[in-house]
A and B are shown apart, each in its own frame.
Chain A
């Protein structure tokens, strides 16, 4: 990469803007580059090979060239240099062949001459220094033929590779994220299902509890009703006192009968008769807690009524309520004449119709 000769005198100049991309000079004298036909200021007119910094190269000259200030990167200049080198090589080769003494067969000479024809043509057509326009047109032809400049192709490939890696990285991260999200979704679905199960279980529990509650409520209501009824019954029952009766002693009976005034009632035929006397004496005794029986007696003709006590000391004793006399009731005997024991010195007349046929005690 060496510096080429200064532009010849025929290079056109004008007042304008420097086309070097890093130069911001305007309205200065600019000169046309003989290789690329662009206009540059004096500082950037020099054509240089476009390249990145040659850090890896061992070519000191290249490094120094790259570091030099001024000039502009010119691809056409590089092409021209390539062609120049090739021409130089051909020249050396030709000189080497002419120096060799050995006569070469015509057929053999002819072939290399054919081969070196091309550089000759190049030499004639596109001499880089004197005819840069021709170099430029050749390059343009090549570009037209290939469509894209090679370094652009390389750049595109690099770019594509970078983009590819970026895309792959994107794919990798997306797939990874998708995998995570899918796993999370699966977990969430499981969680949701578990929650649904829990929800159903709770709902069932509520339903069961409500059913139990309803049953307990109905039970409670029926129990309350029963309680209410029982309380009412108890209130009814307690509104009256219990009747406590006892079997009396004989003297107690005598005492009771002597105090009782039933015997003083008046016997009225058809209205207040023996059964009324017996009823009253019986009821009076029971009121005083003395257990007493109403005795219904079947006589041979008609009937009669008296009372009886089951004394604790003398057993069952009968009394005539109309007279308060004791009665030794026996079936087959005349009631008044045989059964009733008169209190004083008197007796009852005998009557065959008074014979006791049967008697029943109603306690």
Chain B
């Protein structure tokens, strides 16, 4: 009887021990896996940290560049403003203070001017400080009034007052041929002289 009890106790103990060690095996396997995961995570964290540092450097570089470019932009803007102001002062004249204009100034003026006579157009141009000439194109049987500008970038340019057509007159040529775009029927009006009256 005593031996049997001992045997049973031994058996139960053995089962418990086996169960205990099985669970130990299970836990230790889990622990190994968890440690591997932990190591992997640590490596990933290190890698991520290094990447963050790289990106931060990159960001700082970009920001520095941006600051530098902004500074450059501001400086350029200031310069531009100074130049524009100077340009404006130069271009902003009156009939007593005239300047030979840029071609673009002339075009802008011609496009915006609504006067319907050459003398008014000339007066308007001079009121804005644009030096211009009353141009008389003498043909064999009459004359064509034009407005002329001695532009600083493209030399003398001529325009018809009413149509705003540009004219490139040459003595000896037919007037219609001299109008840019040839909008007129060519008639026998040969240019004999060009009077430029400032």
Contact = CB atoms under 8 A, between A and B. Distances in A.
Given A230-B87, A278-B197, A360 B24 contact: no
B79 A227 contact: yes
A244 B99 CA distance: 9
For the complex, would chain B's binding face be called helix, strand, loop or mixed by DSSP majority? helix
Interface in B45-71: 45, 48-49, 51-52, 55-56, 58-59, 62-63, 65-66, 69-70
B197 A206 contact: no
A178 B62 contact: no
Interface string A244-280: 1111000000000000000000000000000110110
Instruction: Name the prevailing secondary structure of the A interface residues.
Output: helix
A246 B23 CA distance: 113
A86 to B, nearest CB: 17
Contact of B83 (A161, A217, A234): A234
Interface stretch (B9-17, B162-170, B179-187): B9-17
A4 interface: no
B144 interface: no
A291 B95 contact: yes
Interface in B72-95: 72-73, 76-77, 79-80, 83-84, 86-87, 90-91, 93, 95
Given A177-B31, A240-B152, A362 B122 contact: yes
Contacts, number: 188
A171 B10 contact: no
Interface stretch (A114-122, A151-159, A347-355): A151-159
Interface stretch (A20-28, A54-62, A181-189, A328-336): A181-189
B171 interface: no
A220 B35 CA distance: 55
A29 B11 CA distance: 45
Chain B interface size range: 35 or more
A80 to B, nearest CB: 20
Contacts of A177: 31
B36 to A, nearest CB: 10
Given A178-B31, A227-B76, 9 more contacts: A153-B3, A153-B10, A192-B48, A202-B59, A227-B79, A234-B86, A243-B98, A361-B119, A362-B118
Closest 8 CB pairs of A and B: A167-B20, A160-B13, A362-B134, A188-B41, A236-B152, A243-B98, A174-B27, A181-B34
Interface of B: 2-3, 6-7, 9-10, 13-14, 16-17, 20-21, 23-24, 27-28, 30-31, 34-35, 37-38, 41-42, 44-45, 48-49, 51-52, 55-56, 58-59, 62-63, 65-66, 69-70, 72-73, 76-77, 79-80, 83-84, 86-87, 90-91, 93, 95-100, 102, 118-119, 122-123, 126, 131, 134, 136, 138, 152-153, 195-198
